[in-house]
């Protein structure tokens, strides 16, 4: 039953990622509508869904999001990976002691 236990943790991590993204958006002085326009999204509600933990920034658009939010793309992707796939993040970036 590893998956049943992991699901609530994954949902919480997506919510945490959403809060981080919302903070970045607000620091950039952008509304959800503004960010959606910068990303050429048809609906700003996609931004809302991600910020509320109901979705993820697609990997193929992380660079666009980073640039729209004025964050270096590698730093942006690494931070999102820490939320979206913490085990892979640990394997790639954490030094074993």
Q: What is the distance between the alpha carbons of residues 17 and 90, in angstroms, rounded to a whole number?
A: 16
Q: Other CB atoms closer than 10 Å to residue 67's CB: what's the count?
A: 14
| CATH of residue 82 | 1.10.260.40
Residue 38: left (phi > 0), alpha (psi -120 to 50), or beta?
Answer: alpha
Provide the domain limits for residue 25: 2-93
pTM: 0.87
60-92 pLDDT tens trace: 999 999 999 999 999 999 999 999 999 999 999
Report how many domains make up the chain. 1
């Amino acid at each position: 039953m590893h998956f049943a236990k992991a699901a609530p943790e994954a949902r919480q991590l997506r919510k945490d990622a959403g809060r981080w993204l919302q903070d970045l958006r607000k620091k950039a002085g952008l509304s959800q509508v503004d960010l959606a326009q910068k990303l050429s999204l048809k609906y700003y509600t996609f931004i809302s869904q991600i910020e509320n933990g109901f979705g993820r920034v697609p990997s193929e658009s992380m660079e666009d999001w980073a640039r729209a939010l004025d964050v270096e793309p590698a730093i942006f992707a690494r931070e999102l990976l820490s939320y979206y796939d913490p085990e892979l993040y640990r394997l790639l970036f954490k030094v074993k002691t």
